[in-house]
Each structure stands twice: as C-alpha cells, then as structure tokens.
C-alpha cells in the first residue's frame, strides 16, 4: 500500500472498520462466522492497524488493536500495536502496561524495551529505564548493528546523566 492508498484507506474506511469491530465484539456468533469465512481476519486486521499507525491515525489503530488483543490476547505483535497506539494517543501509563505485556510474551523484541524505557524516562523514572536499556544492549551485542542498539546507547547516556545530576 503506498502513502496515497494508506491515507485513502484511513480517511474512508478506518471508521467503518472500527464500527464493524464494535458490532462483532457485541455479537460473538457473527464473529465466529466471520472467522470461519475469513481465515485471514486477524492478520488483515493487524495490517490495517499498522497502516493506521503508519499514518498516525492512533484512535483507529487503538480500536483495531484493542479488538485484536481482546480476542487474541497471546499475540505479542497485537500487544505491541496496542502499546504503540496508546503511546501515540499519549496514554503513557496504558502504553507502558501494554509494552510490559509485549515483553512478557516475547522477550526478544528490543523495540518494546526501548519504547518502555522512553516512557519511564518521560515519567522521570530513570531507575526503571536503565535495566531495560541494558537488556537491549545485551540483546543486540555482536553481529550486525541493530537500530535499537544505537537508540539504547543514546538513551542510556541520557539516563546516566540524569541519575548523576544533583536534584
């Protein structure tokens, strides 16, 4: 999907999709029938949620990922999408909880650690951010240069400076 198509989708169809999801959530029999007729339902919904995130339609992405998490709670990518949506909406405490759940379900996703650390840093809870960043450094050592490693290094320098500064 190119940017024009993504914007068209978000403008015309995202609200319609979230309306449909609300109806399906209220009618389990229809949801079950939809799953039987449309086996790619969960993946296609996630693709639409990520498309909404890409173009910063956080309300729609939140509704899509909340629906997905409500019905597929053990999928870490859905948890991560929910966390990203909540962060985009500036619901940082809820985003932190969703990133924590993402990490619990899939402890090998360095992005979740970095984004959670960023939230802790915004909340001036540097003591919670530091171990997350250290874990990213451990996860990404050796091999190719992972983009989250450079983000973690940059944030770690800020955490060290903030924790050494007098109050």
- Alpha carbons 13 and 15: distance in angstroms, whole number: 6
Write down the H helix ranges in the chain: 3-12, 14-26, 28-37, 41-54, 58-71, 76-88, 92-105, 110-122, 126-139, 147-164
pLDDT in tens, 3-14: 666 666 666 666
**Residue 3 CB neighbour total at 10 angstroms:** 9
Average pLDDT (11-30) is 79
Q: pTM of the predicted model, to two decimals?
A: 0.84
Dihedral, 13, 90, 80, 136 alpha carbons, nearest 10: 150
Name residues whose C-beta falls within 8 Å of residue 123's C-beta, 6 or more positions apart in sequence. 92
Q: What is the separation of C-alpha 31 from the centre of its chain, rounded to a whole number of angstroms?
A: 24
CA–CA dist 159, 66 (Å, integer)? 32
- Residues 64-77: what's their mean pLDDT? 96
Q: Which residue's structure tokens are 């992005």?
A: 111
Identify the structural domains of the chain with CATH numbers, from first to last. 1-91 (1.25.40), 107-167 (no CATH)
CA 8 to chain CA mean position, Å:
23
Listed residue (49, 108, 51) closest to 83, CA to CA: 49
The per-residue pLDDT for 13 is: 65
Tell the burial category of 81 from Cβ atoms under 10 Å away from its Cβ (0-12, 13-18, 19+).
Answer: buried
Convert the pLDDT of each residue in 100-144 to its tens digit.
999 999 999 999 999 999 999 999 999 999 999 999 999 998 766
Q: CA-to-CA distance for 64 and 81, rounded, in angstroms?
A: 9
Q: Which of the residue ranges 23-32, 40-49, 85-94, 149-158 would you say has the lowest mean pLDDT?
A: 23-32
pLDDT, the chain, mean = 89
Q: Which two tokens stand for residue 155?
A: 């944030």
Q: What is the reported pLDDT for 14?
A: 65
Which range has highest mean pLDDT (4-18, 62-76, 139-153)? 62-76
């Amino acid at each position: 999907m190119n940017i024009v198509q993504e914007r068209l989708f978000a403008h015309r169809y995202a609200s319609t999709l979230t309306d449909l999801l609300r109806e399906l959530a209220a009618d389990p029999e229809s949801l079950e029938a939809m799953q039987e007729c449309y086996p790619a339902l969960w993946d296609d919904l996630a693709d639409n949620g990520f498309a909404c995130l890409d173009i910063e339609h956080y309300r729609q992405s939140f509704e899509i990922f909340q629906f997905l998490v409500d019905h597929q709670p053990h999928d870490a990518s859905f948890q991560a999408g929910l966390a990203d949506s909540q962060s985009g909406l500036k619901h940082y405490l809820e985003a932190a909880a969703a990133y924590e759940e993402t990490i619990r379900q899939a402890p090998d996703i360095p992005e979740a650690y970095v984004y959670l650390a960023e939230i802790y840093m915004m909340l001036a809870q540097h003591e919670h951010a530091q171990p997350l960043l250290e874990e990213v450094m451990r996860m990404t050592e050796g091999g190719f240069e992972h983009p989250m490693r450079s983000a973690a290094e940059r944030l770690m320098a800020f955490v060290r400076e903030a924790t050494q500064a007098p109050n």
